[in-house]
Amino acid sequence: MTQTQTVTVRILDKDYHIACPISESSNLERAAEYLDTKMREIRRSGKVIGAERIAVMAALNITHALHSKQHEALFNSQDTEQVQQLLVRVQKSLDSAE
């Protein structure tokens, strides 16, 4: 059974008490700091008013960045596979030419 602890994080000057596994508490704190930073950036822009709207915009921005990274990683993985397949074909061509 995983032991949990309550971690207090501060986001936009409001405290949130969140239960999480002890081994994940530092990850939770870093994630909360990152979210707080993104929300403050959005609030400073002055284009979005209200904590709920700021949170939604931050969530959308973070999700977009995550999906972009995942797509980039998938694309790079596909490139690697294609290069490997090409190398195999070239090697077979070289072997048959001998």
Please write the tens of the pLDDT for every residue from 46-57.
988 899 999 999
Predicted pLDDT at 89: 75
Residue 22 main-chain phi, psi, to 5 deg? -55, -40
* pLDDT over threshold 70, residue 98: no
Predicted pLDDT at 82: 72
**Cα 37 from Cα 32, distance rounded (Å):** 9
All residues at 6 or more sequence positions from 65 whose CB lies less than 8 Å from its CB, including other chains: none
Model pTM above 0.85: no
Predicted pLDDT at 23: 93
Q: What is the mean pLDDT of residues 6-28?
A: 95
Q: What pLDDT band is residue 78 in, cutting at 50, 70 and 90?
A: low
Residue 58 main-chain phi, psi, to 5 deg? -65, -45
Contact 24, 35 (CB under 8 A): no
Number of domains composing the chain: 1
* pLDDT over threshold 70, residue 97: no
Range of the domain at 55: 4-97
CATH code, domain carrying 82: 3.30.160.880
Q: What is the mean pLDDT of residues 14-29?
A: 94
